[in-house]
Amino acid sequence: MIGAIIGDIVGSRFEFHNTNKKKFEFFTEECRFTDDTVMTLAVAESLMRSRKNNYKDLPSVTARTMHEIGRRYPRAGYGGRFARWMFSEIWIPYNSCGNGSAMRISAVGDVAESVEEAKKLSDAVTGITHNHPEGMKGAEAAAVAKVMLKTGSTLNQVESYINDHYYRLDKTVNEIRKETHGQHGKEICQVTMPQAFTCLFEGTDFEDVIRNCISIGGDSDTIAAIAGGIAEAVYPVPEEMQKTAKKFLTRDLRDIAARWERFTCGKEG
């Protein structure tokens, strides 16, 4: 999950000020966490709370937790439809195919032990808002890729699986970069997911994956959050990088992140 948070924070200053360069200062004072981090941690908190019931109540727990945590950060940068859902007392899914479904999913890949479990948990936390088929598909693809890498599949094997079951990855990072330069891009899974996966599969280590994501422009923080959340399953995330990213979080968000680390190491819950 820390990979998604790092991707969000590093990408935050480029979201509306895109660059086509891979050489840039990784963390600066202009960086911040956005809704991507808030909702990623909300899903993690939901999984911890729902684990006691074997995730049977995960959809309702996730809805409550997103409202509880999300409302603490009203200026985090939520999309319009999600913001209306979060600040409403009526929690009805709104048929979204937005990339918000995938940017918050990395914790599912951390706890799922199989592709089938990843699909089941992904559907549970996604369908409460992004119940459009493409919204569900984007989140599922990210969760499945992460659990495959975590359980021993190679990057080439996962790339083939994504190509066969989810998205055709028929462009290189450089080709995407030329197409998207100077454009924010559409914040939908159909656009974002192929970009994030291409940046992942062309990366040489965790940092390079994030730099690929930033350099293609578009919805920089979300592309980097999605790819970073998957990349941490195959590439080590430098300790110093993790420590620096956590300094950008508030105390309560750092607390969730710390409890999640203990939870996934089997020391809590």
Please give the model's pTM, rounded to 2 decimal places.
Answer: 0.97
User: Which two structure tokens, joined as six digits, stand for 206?
Assistant: 């965790």
- Is residue 29 situated within a structural domain? no
- The pLDDT score that the predictor gives to residue 106 is 98
CA distances from 235 to 169, 173, 174, 232 (A): 21, 19, 22, 5
Beta-carbon neighbour count of residue 205 at 10 Å?
14
The answer to whether residue 28 sits within a structural domain is no
Residues 107-131 have pLDDT tens digits of: 999 999 999 999 999 999 999 999 9
Domains contained in the chain, number: 1
Within-domain flag for 156: yes
Determine the pLDDT at residue 215: 96
Confidence at residue 105, expressed as pLDDT on a 0 to 100 scale: 98
Nearest to 8 by CA among 266, 229, 264: 229
Radius of gyration of the chain from its Cα atoms, rounded to whole angstroms: 17
Predicted pLDDT at 185: 66
123 found inside a domain? yes
Residues 48-101 pLDDT 10s: 999 999 999 999 999 999 999 999 999 999 999 999 999 999 899 999 999 999
> Is the CA virtual torsion 168, 171, 172, 174 positive or negative?
negative
Per the structure, the complete domain to which residue 130 belongs is given by 2-22+34-264
Position 85 in a domain: yes
Residue among 45, 197, 59, 56 at smallest CA distance from 123: 59
pLDDT for the residue 180: 75
Question: Cβ contacts of residue 205 below 8 Å, gap of 6+?
Answer: 235, 236
106 part of a folded domain:
yes
Could you say which residues of the chain have pLDDT below 70?
181-185, 267-269
Q: What is the CATH number of the domain that holds 125?
A: 1.10.4080.10
Q: Would you say residue 178 lies in a domain?
A: yes
pLDDT score for 269: 47
Residue 269 counted as domain residue: no
